[in-house]
Amino acid sequence: MVRVTLRIAVVVALLGACGFHPGLAGSGASDDASTGDGGGSGTHDGGTGSDGGVTTGRCSSPGAFRDDFSTALTTNFTGHWIVGANATVTTGRLSVTPSSATAFAGILAKHAIDITNANVSIEVPAMITNADATAGLFLFSGDVVHYLAIYQQLGMLVAEYDLGAGPQATKIAYDGTAQHAWRIAEASGQITFQYSADSASWTTFGPTIATPAFATNLEIFLGGLAYDNQMHGTAQFDNLNTAAAPATWCKASTFLDRFARTSIGFDWTRRLNPTNGNGCTPTVNAGAHFDQASNTNASRCWLATQKAFDLKDSSAMIDVVVPASPPASWSVFLRAINDDLDAFYILLQSGQMCSQVNSNAPVCAPYVAGSTFYRLRETAGTLYFETSPDATAWSVVSQVATPFSLASTHFEIGTATTNSIGTAQPLTISLFNTTP
């Protein structure tokens, strides 16, 4: 138990730094919103207890995340999984081969789910039972400290959770036939851990616990560890939530962040280009800060959301505190990119508010002083690029017919320079999707 729980945070830190977010292609109005630089460096800066933003309201149910593993995993930005080490899809199953005591093998969901009055189920056709290795189903909270899990270790099936008072676990002998499928379920304010031989009749084992608040914002992880750093075999998973009713992802407007902490947290990934941070390094301390140093070459830095969200009939907004007299090469942006690498942004540069979709010609309008709020919004088949002085009265910079799917969209916020600047340029983004 202890060896698993000591490494719960490791999975998000490692998989979240894999560099899946393409970077902004420069920052001027003439740049192409669809291309990028491969993401630069990516790190989390969680800190103790700094879990980042919050998701409000009912989010997507487990039916939003259904996978029969009939198609190959993608190891770049596309797809709904962040793919870690030794994880592949073969013969219609997810195969995971743990080989390290410190780096999880497996896959982590890019979307959050809410298991209220629902469940997460997985079939386990094959499991490693002959060595000190573990593999299982983990549901991580947004802060990756709290979790719910079912996993196998040393011939035991384990139901485990941490609600904030440390890990609690119940173990029973593992039987691959009787326990072919596993399920973590919520009903009537209680969480149960279950197994089944046929995914139809379920048996509860281990504790029944009061539903924690974080049950509305969970990320699915499938995988495990090998404690002697050796490969001992392969665990297989199949038919994740395939019996659940289909649902949509969490809406973009459900994710809120005032950056009222002293570290980046786990909901954002820090990106730098150049990767040594020469020029700009994002930080969070009572606001998200992207301060460009003086006399640097072209550089950009940004924060990218760890999770993806549904922007259809929703919106994403930032509040920007800009320098008094920024140079022409300096810009600040709110950018979005979907799983197909389609990208679009709203950007301030050289006294102009500009928008761009993929490689289409940018559309610009004079910046109106005091318009510190920038917003990307989709409504009824139209995508809007907007600014506002108060997050109430909005002016449209441009609008286009929604050109592609926005169902799974990441967001990026930050700054860039296209050449050296003589004076340091401080930038603060004070909020994401909240109002003053």
Is 399's pLDDT higher than 90? yes
Q: Which residues pair with 95 in a beta bridge?
A: 88, 236
Tell me whether domains 22-48+251-432 and 60-238 share a fold: yes
Going by C-beta distance under 8 Å and a sequence separation of 6 or more, which residues neighbour residue 284?
45, 259, 261, 262, 263, 264, 265, 268
Q: For residues 87 and 95, is the Cβ–Cβ distance under 8 A?
A: yes
Going by C-beta distance under 8 Å and a sequence separation of 6 or more, which residues neighbour residue 169?
1, 158, 159, 160, 206
Domain boundaries, the chain: 22-48+251-432, 60-238
Between residues 172 and 36, the one the model is more confident about = 172
Q: Which residues pair with 428 in a beta bridge?
A: 289, 321
Please report the pLDDT score of residue 295 as a whole number.
72
Is 66's pLDDT higher than 60? yes
Please report the pLDDT score of residue 17 as a whole number.
39
Q: For 117-130, what is the mean pLDDT?
A: 92
Least confident segment among 39-53, 58-72, 75-89, 91-105: 39-53
Architecture of the domain defined by 22-48+251-432 = Sandwich (2.60)
Q: For 186-207, what is the mean pLDDT?
A: 96
pLDDT digits (tens, 9 = 90+) for 131-184: 778 889 999 887 767 899 999 988 999 999 999 888 999 999 999 999 999 999
Please report the pLDDT score of residue 33 as a whole number.
52
pLDDT above 70 covers a percentage of the chain that reads: 84
Cα of first residue to Cα of last residue in the chain, in angstroms, is 44
- Residue 141 CB neighbour total at 10 angstroms: 24
From the list 220, 218, 284, 282, the residue with the least C-alpha distance to 257 is 284
Is 27's pLDDT higher than 60? no
Q: Which residue has the tokens 């005091």?
A: 370
pLDDT digits (tens, 9 = 90+) for 227-263: 877 888 899 999 999 988 888 888 999 899 999 999 9
Least confident segment among 65-79, 204-218, 307-321, 339-353: 65-79
Q: For 396-412, what is the mean pLDDT?
A: 95
Q: Which residue has the tokens 């973009």?
A: 252
Is 382's pLDDT higher than 90? yes
Q: What is the rounded average pLDDT for all residues in the chain?
A: 83
Q: For 4-28, what is the mean pLDDT?
A: 39
Please report the pLDDT score of residue 324 as a whole number.
78
pLDDT band at 101 (very low <50, low <70, confident <90, very high): confident
Is 397's pLDDT higher than 70? yes
Q: Which CATH class is domain 60-238?
A: mainly beta
Going by C-beta distance under 8 Å and a sequence separation of 6 or more, which residues neighbour residue 34?
25, 341, 342, 343, 358, 359
Q: How far is Cα 404 from Cα 310, in angstroms, rounded to an integer?
A: 12
Q: How far is Cα 4 from Cα 150, in angstroms, rounded to an integer?
A: 11
Between residues 53 and 86, the one the model is more confident about = 86
State the Cα angle at 9 between 7 and 12, rounded to 5°: 120
Q: How far is Cα 311 from Cα 250, in angstroms, rounded to an integer?
A: 9
Least confident segment among 206-210, 327-331, 375-379: 327-331
| Token duo for residue 99 | 């080989």
Q: What would the 3-class secondary structure string for the chain be?
A: CHHHHCCHHHHHHHHCCCCCCCCCCCCCCCCCCCCCCCCCEEEEECCCCCCCCEECCCCCCHHHCCECCCCCCCCCCCCCEEECECEEEECCEEEECCCCCCCCEEEEECCCECCCCCEEEEEEEECCCCCCEEEEEEEECCCCCCEEEEEEECCEEEEEEECCCCEEEEEEECCCCCCCEEEEEEECCEEEEEEECCCCCEEEEEEEEECCHHHHCEEEEEEEEECCCCCCCCEEEECECCCCCCCCCCEHHHEEECCCCCCCEEEEEEEEECCCCCCCCCEECCCEECCECCCCCCEEEEEEECCCEECCCCEEEEEEECCCCCCCCEEEEEEEEECCCCEEEEEEECCEEEEEECCCCCEEEECCCCCCEEEEEEECCEEEEEEECCCCCCEEEEEEECCCCCCCEEEEEEEEECCCCCCCECCEEEEECCCC
Please report the pLDDT score of residue 3 as a whole number.
41
Q: How far is Cα 377 from Cα 428, in angstroms, rounded to an integer?
A: 22
pLDDT above 90 covers a percentage of the chain that reads: 50
Residue 168's Cβ-count burial label (10 Å; 0-12, 13-18, 19+) is middle
Please report the pLDDT score of residue 164 as a whole number.
87
Is 28's pLDDT higher than 50? no
Q: How many residues does the chain have?
A: 436
Please report the pLDDT score of residue 276 as a whole number.
65
Please report the pLDDT score of residue 78 as a whole number.
56
| Token duo for residue 32 | 């192409």
Please report the pLDDT score of residue 250 as a whole number.
87
pLDDT band at 58 (very low <50, low <70, confident <90, very high): low
Please report the pLDDT score of residue 129 as a whole number.
80
pLDDT band at 57 (very low <50, low <70, confident <90, very high): very low
